[in-house]
Structure 1
Amino acid sequence: MHDLAGLRALVTGGASGIGLATARLLAARGAEVAVLDLNPGGLEAPLLGFTADVSDDASVRAGVAAAVQRLGGLDVLVNNAGIGAVGTVADNPDQEWQRVLGVNVLGLVRTTRAALPHLRASERAAIVNTCSIAATAGLPQRALYSASKGAVLSLTLAMAADHVREGIRVNCVNPGTADTPWVGRLLDTAADPEAERAALNARQPMGRLVTAEEVAAAIVYLASPAAASVTGTALAVDGGMQGLRLRPTAS
């Protein structure tokens, strides 16, 4: 299926995890895909890799410009780059708050700001932001991360309102806990990694972690012309975590 043929897409944080799964699926469905990442060196064709640090405006502008020049334009922006954080509001110093917000929130702002002139020239422009279940559900030990993703959710709605009359759709995807390298590293630091994984699996009504490919499928749908009437929407891919309230299973 090559229903995205002719589309030119840019994915931030696209060298691993959800970003890589998204870039691969976009390319498999016919889009030309460029990736912005701190370390894009391991990408395989047909993906095009460009080095950029979303925490630095000059780096973002240079990376977006190089990618758009190579693609010959831009139709789709996937703001996926992000970092995690653990703890309550008391556990992280100001510097860590600034670092995480600088990537997860301002990184999205910087990339979108650099991409907008190119998206305005497209007849099929779409922006998809990777948000999180942490934006809509109170999760323990995730105060900083939740604050950053709450901002992404609000930004998605505001951006959708700002740009709908320019023909640019803006949506986000809210994954539940996903089986990604970051979650793997988090589990590795737990006192009992297997017990922690079991607890994360049980937290989602479907009983397992979300896969990167499942999140990618939702992102690609929102980016595609099939979603031409969808804007200002948050699509949950969370195994039912946000909306379902199941009774405990009998012991």
Structure 2
Amino acid sequence: MNTFTPTFNLMNVVLGPICMNLGRDPLMNKRKNLRCIVFVHQHRQDSLVFEGETIEGAPPLWCASAAGHLGVVRFLVQRGARINATTRTHSTPLRAACFDGHFEIVKFLIANGANIEVSNRHGHTCLMIACYKGHYKIAQYLLSLGAHVNTKSVKGNTALHDCAESGSLDILKMLIRFGATIDVDCYGMTPLLAASVTGHTDIVEYLITYEDRVSRQECIDALELLGATYVDKKRDMFGALELWKRAMLLR
């Protein structure tokens, strides 16, 4: 269930409850509520709280896409809503749908002209957020449409970093098949180190098998960091000792 808490303004007082309840109650599909949506669509663009974060300047289409209501999305597009209209942080309706895994809305928006490469103010693309949130089908669909797999954010991270950090091994493998490279971000962090510091052992073990892409020293650093993560986050001293032993043998 989405956390969709409207702030007290005209757009959210009217559209928020409709987006939350559409589909639960057949009466929400009646013309009365559609007229409300039309009014908001034509007059307001304001702020709301979604997934615990305040979204400033969110268009109604963004709200409906984030909340996962395809019927409202279709209606707004038919009424002329701008597909690529953004919030104040430059988040598009497509990115909102990718964030929460609303695949049908993603496909609909793209079919109606949504730009898959528009990034938010941090430089994060739709592919990046789909990878970070673990939405395999959406990531696969975006890649099939030619989404740039090695785009870097403002801080230099890529979709591969996002997969490694969140633990989506299947998506990470897919990104590599589509040509993802193991790059360093602005903080010196590689996807391998990102997986180590977040404790995703399966991703670490997978990436260190790429001897043509990962150096011996990078493997050592990753195993040592993963061991430290075992102690800090898992309280697993025996597991950490095994990892540190492997790192020592590589020296």
Query: Larger relative contact order (C-alpha < 8 A, sep ≥ 6)?
Result: 1
Give TM-score, length-normalised by structure 1. 0.29
Q: Which has the larger radius of gyration?
A: 2
Could you tell me the TM-score, scaled by structure 2's length?
0.29
Indicate the structure with greater strand content: 1
Larger helix share, 1 or 2: 2
